[in-house]
Chains A and B, each alone.
Chain A
Amino acid sequence: MNAVPLSWYLTLSGVLFTLGAAGFLFRRNIITVFMSIELMLNAVNLSFISFSYAFRRVDGQIFTFFVMVVAAAEAAVGLAIILTVFKNRNTLNIDDLNSMKDEYQPAQPEEASETAPVSVP
């Protein structure tokens, strides 16, 4: 018992990924949701590294490296967006951020393209 089957690592990766997805689905705080995404990315990274081990090639690790870089860039921009959203809406609850849904318009397609009201300072 001095070695671990590779499938254990992949299973762990799957478990973490599912937990990340669960966080995404059930959490309402936008920052926590964002962190759940990072968790999912980490889970994927783990499987990349496992594959790298399985095939004895460095390529999987390179992929992980790129995922990290992209995650860093994503975090920077994403958190800046969260800051802006919070400043404009004063909420971090993801359920409150549903202005993409067209709730107040009747079913007439012509009137759907109403221009946003311009606020005059």
Chain B
Amino acid sequence: MDVILFLVFAIIAVLCAINVVVQTHPIASALSLIGVMGSLAVLYLLLGAEFIAAAQVIVYAGAVMVLFVFVIMLLNAGEEVHRGRSFVVQVLGAPLLIALLGLLVYFAQRLFPGAPMVRFGAFRGGTAVAVGRALFTQYLLPFEVTSVLILIAILGAIVLARKELD
């Protein structure tokens, strides 16, 4: 069961991610990205992070991506135009990415060579209670700092976007 779930959602995630990259229209990319996020949320659930899974959908899919879709609609962004080209990217890009992927996979295998097996329900440390407790005790200061960050981001976004008016 776990294997099936993992494979299904991993494949969905990878396909959607590929779609993000290859689609020429931004809104298609955005919706594919939502697909990635949704399947990642399921994977989080499998890994026992239920609160983060819900937050993933609410924050990422429900708020951040809505912003993206909004901006795309507002600017009426169309298909991509291939105009400029960068010599560096064209020559180095693909080999570097393949090397990166290889290295990442290599490290993943070397770090955990098959030993820890993920069973759904084996780790239940991701409940809202556990996360909340950690957030409000050990990570209280970062948490508060984050709230300040968000406040600043709101102000910044308002100030920047306000120029639209005049």
Contacts and interface: CB of A to CB of B under 8 A. Distances in A.
Contact of B77 (A29, A74, A77): A29
B68 A31 contact: yes
A113 B32 CA distance: 45
Nearest to B45: A49
Contacts of A45: 40, 52, 56
A83 B161 contact: yes
Nearest to B86: A95
Contacts of B86: 95
Nearest to A5: B114
Interface string A12-23: 111111111111
Contacts of B149: 69-70, 73
Interface residues of A, number: 75
B146 A69 contact: yes
Contacts of A31: 26, 30, 68, 71-72, 75, 77
Interface string B144-166: 00100110111011101101100
A98 B116 CA distance: 47
A87 B81 contact: no
Contacts of A69: 59, 146, 149-150
Interface string B104-144: 11011101111111110001011000110011000100100
A79 B142 CA distance: 25
A6 B112 contact: yes
Contacts of A76: 67, 153-154, 156-157
Given A25-B97, A58-B125, A65 B14 contact: no
Contact of A5 (B85, B116, B139, B142): B116
B64 A58 contact: no
A58 B21 contact: no
A105 interface: no
Interface in A20-71: 20-23, 25-29, 31-32, 34-36, 38-39, 42, 45-46, 49-50, 52-54, 56-59, 61-62, 64-66, 68-71
Given A26-B93, A53-B48, A61-B52, A5 B112 contact: yes
Contacts of A7: 108-109, 111-114
Q: Which 10 A-B pairs have the closest CB atoms?
A: A95-B84, A14-B104, A73-B153, A10-B108, A80-B160, A3-B117, A18-B101, A76-B157, A80-B157, A23-B21
